[in-house]
Amino acid sequence: MTTKRIAVVSAGLSQPSSTRLLADRLAGATVERLAHEGIEADVTTIELRDIAQDVTNNLLTGFASPKLDAVLTTITESDGLIAVTPIFTTSYSGLFKSFVDIVDNQALKDLPVLMGATGGTARHSLALEYAMRPLFTYLHAVVTPTSVFAASEDWGGGADEVRSLPDRIVRAATEFAALVRSSERRAPSRDPFAAYASGLGGFQPE
């Protein structure tokens, strides 16, 4: 049985958070879809709140603490990334963007990504499309056509009953699982020397 490594990043700030709840639901549906295809999923969930101080320090000093470094390795070497953020003031949260700014701009190349977001009302749902999708496109990740937005009302009464949150989650997870299964991505090395040495053709001074 093949195993795929799924990294889940949740940028929710409260504990417990509805952002984490959505991330867990997306991860759960993905695991189920992959199992259906005979693929085992190894899921690692990262709460950015737990490394918020490390993220800020990295922005200021230019290097990652051992804890943050391990997270960056997990994401770079994953076979698929589920990224979920709360929508604040029309866009992804500042903590989420600060974290993405630290990730090497080649690290997510060709990586299947499933995006999710949470917010108070469904009026914020398009932030996924005008803010978050361009971010991952810039990083050359492969994003599923369906992204999932969960408003507060989606968790109870008043939710969309025609295309419910569970329906949207299953649809997105199905697309994501298919990308993960068929992806031929080779994770880039986080070691710049290994990358450089592999292309060594002799030094040309002039």
Which residues sit at the interface with other proteins, rule CB under 8 A?
A: 56-57, 60-63, 65-66, 191-193, 196-197, 200, 203-206
Closer by beta carbon to other proteins, 35 or else 197: 197
Taking a C-beta distance cutoff of 8 angstroms, is the pair 27, 44 a contact?
no
Nearer to other proteins, 57 or 125 (CB): 57
By beta-carbon proximity to other proteins, the closer residue of 61 and 182 is 61
The distance of closest approach from Cβ of residue 59 to other proteins in the complex, given in angstroms and rounded to an integer, is 8
Given a contact cutoff of 8 angstroms between Cβ atoms, the answer to whether 183 and 112 are in contact is yes
Answer whether 136's CB lies under 8 Å from 108's CB.
yes
In this complex, which beta carbon is closest to other proteins, that of residue 16 or of residue 205? 205
- The distance of closest approach from Cβ of residue 105 to other proteins in the complex, given in angstroms and rounded to an integer, is 14
Q: Is 132 helix (H, G, I), strand (E, B) or coil?
A: helix
Between 62 and 145, whose beta carbon lies closer to other proteins? Answer: 62
User: Residue 40 pairs with which residues in a beta bridge?
Assistant: 3
Least distance from other proteins to the Cβ atom of residue 5, Å: 24
Identity of residue 105:
N
Residue 107's beta-bridge partner residues?
none
Contact assessment for residue 114 and residue 141, using Cβ atoms and an 8 Å cutoff? no
Distance of closest approach, residue 57 Cβ to other proteins, in angstroms: 4
In the bound state with other proteins, the residue whose beta carbon lies nearer, of 161 and 206, is 206
Shortest distance, CB of residue 74 to other proteins, whole angstroms? Answer: 18
How far apart CA 68 and CA 58 sit, in angstroms, is 9
The tokens for 37 are 């295809």
- Output the smallest distance, CB 152 to other proteins, in A: 35
Of 16, 18, 194, 33, which is closest to residue 6 (Cα–Cα)? 33
Cβ-based neighbours of 163, under 8 Å, separated by 6 or more: none
In the block, residue with structure tokens 């001074």: 205
